[in-house]
Amino acid sequence: MQRLDFESAVEKIEDKIERLKIASGQDKASTEEEIQKLEQKAAKILSNIYSKLTPWQITQVARHPQRPYTMDYIQNIFTEFMELHGDRCFSDDPAMLCGLAKFNGDPVVVMGQQKGRTIKEKVRYNFGMPHPEGFRKSLRIMELAERFSLPVFTFIDTPGAYPGVGAEERGQSEAIAANLMKMSGLRTPIISTVIGEGGSGGALAIGVADRVLMLEFATYSVISPEGCAAILWKDGTKGSLAANALKIDAASLLKSGVVDAVVPEPAGGAHRNPGDTFNNLKACLTEVFSEIKHTTVDKLVKNRYNKFRSLGLFTEE
């Protein structure tokens, strides 16, 4: 487990648990009780630490290298996943994972930005930053979902759309814009979950949904804290200040009305206990899906439009 700098209080206990687990080997019974006790203690300490995280600390959790990624959620919440590739124009963008799957037995469409864990994977998935081809692939699959009346589940985890020469030449902005427009009127249910980093337009491009969920220690922001700091504080290292000011944490997002529900994470974050995280999210998705699955498509689209239409605070006097 890669520990974050604010987790030092749990270091000794977690190390001891690790040692005991290795030492006990086959003879689990002898140490089982002690491990359980220590684990409870660790969970208590972690819950305490995690109940007071600053937005900048949450950003570190959301970016944790061992945090579950889109493919992990798809494999553990859905069954019979079949990946679909390509935008039919230029290439297949691995940073946007799309496919068909079953959710509690129902056929659905799933998609999300995919990050890599090893250096080789990180490069292959471009650190979860899609090119226009990725957004166009997701658009193509959403249109497919519409034609075959399949509900769409999206998983948001990206630092943002890739800022590169090729991405610009092939219309990064048009690709995102087209997704926003299509999703706002897509004639099938859409549920989005922010699972890690919800980075700006690249995140929203698969986030115009009937219900938007957010994991407890995920972030969702108009700009990365570092990017904001570089512009407004003229200092890219002031990310913690920008994270505070931008209010990018799940509780703030829920309050703003952008997010409909926050999905609790296990003590110490999703990466410490992916199994419980999958169970929590699956339960939430099941509930939210049952809320909207019988709504007529006309009403769904109308409500979705009104939901996004209503976001934004202004005066008029």
Partner 1 sequence: MGWFKNSFFSVEGKSVKVPQGLWVKCEHCAEIIYKKELERDLEVCPKCSYHFRLPAFERINMLFDKDTFEEFDPLVGPTDPLGFKDIKKYKDKIKSYQKKTGQKDALISGLGCINGRKVMTAVFDFAFMGGSMGAVVGEKITRVFERALDKRCGVITFTASGGARMQEGILSLMQMAKTAAAAGRLKEAGLPFISVLTDPTTGGVTASFAMLGDIIVAEPGALIGFAGPRVIAQTIKQTLPEGFQRAEYILEHGMIDMIVERKNMKESLGRLLEYLG
* Site for partner 1, rule CB under 8 A: 161-165, 167-174, 176-178, 180-185, 200-201, 204-205, 207-208, 220-223, 227-228, 231-234, 241-242, 245-248, 252-253, 256, 258, 305, 308-309, 311-317
Minimum gap (Å) between residue 226 Cβ and partner 1 = 11
Nearest distance from C-beta of residue 258 to partner 1, angstroms: 5
Cβ nearer to partner 1, comparing 137 with 272 = 137
CB 70 within 8 Å of CB 195:
yes
Q: Which is nearer to partner 1, 29 or 313 (CB)?
A: 313
C-alpha span between 223 and 246 (Å, rounded):
9
Between 84 and 178, name the residue whose CB sits nearer to partner 1.
Answer: 178
CB of 207 to partner 1, least distance (A): 8
Integer Cα distance of 256 and 244 in angstroms: 15
Distance CA 151, CA 188 (A): 6
Name which of 68 and 130 has its Cβ closer to partner 1: 130
Round to whole Å and give the CA distance between 62 and 269.
9
The phi, psi pair for 220, rounded to 5°, reads -145, 125
At closest approach, how far in Å is the CB of 59 from partner 1? Answer: 14
Least distance to partner 1, CB of residue 103, Å: 24
Alpha-carbon distances, residue 168 vs 40, 162, 293 (angstroms) = 51, 9, 38
Question: What's the angle, vertex CA 221, arms to CA 219 and CA 225, rounded to 5?
Answer: 90
Can you give the C-alpha Rg of the chain in angstroms?
20
82 versus 119: smaller Cβ distance to partner 1: 119
- In contact, 267 and 273? CB cutoff 8 Å: yes
Q: Which residues contact 188 (CB under 8 A, 6 or more apart)?
A: 145, 146, 149, 150, 151, 152, 297, 300
Q: How far is the CB of 315 from partner 1 (least distance, A)?
A: 5
Residue 124 beta carbon to partner 1: minimum distance, rounded to whole angstroms:
17
Residues linked to residue 103 through DSSP beta bridges, in sequence order = 106
Nearer Cβ to partner 1 (82/313): 313
How many other C-beta atoms are found inside a 10 Å radius of the C-beta of residue 1?
A: 14
Structure tokens, 241: 């200040």
Q: In terms of CB distance, is 97 or 250 closer to partner 1? A: 250
Least distance CB 87 / partner 1 (angstroms): 15
User: What single DSSP character describes residue 266?
Assistant: -
Q: Are 244 and 238 in contact (CB under 8 A)?
A: no
Q: Which is nearer to partner 1, 24 or 244 (CB)?
A: 244
